[in-house]
């Protein structure tokens, strides 16, 4: 459970960073 949340959070952060870079 904890691992899943951690992984999901990492993915969201990565996606946010990509979006920020594209912007």
The pLDDT value recorded for residue 1 is: 61
Q: Strand, helix or coil at 1?
A: coil
Counts for the chain of helices (H) and strands (E), in that order:
1, 0
* Per-residue pLDDT reduced to its tens digit, 1-23: 678 888 888 888 888 888 887 77
Regarding pTM above 0.95, the answer is no
């Amino acid at each position: 459970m904890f691992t899943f949340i951690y992984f999901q959070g990492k993915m969201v952060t990565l996606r946010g960073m990509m979006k920020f870079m594209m912007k």
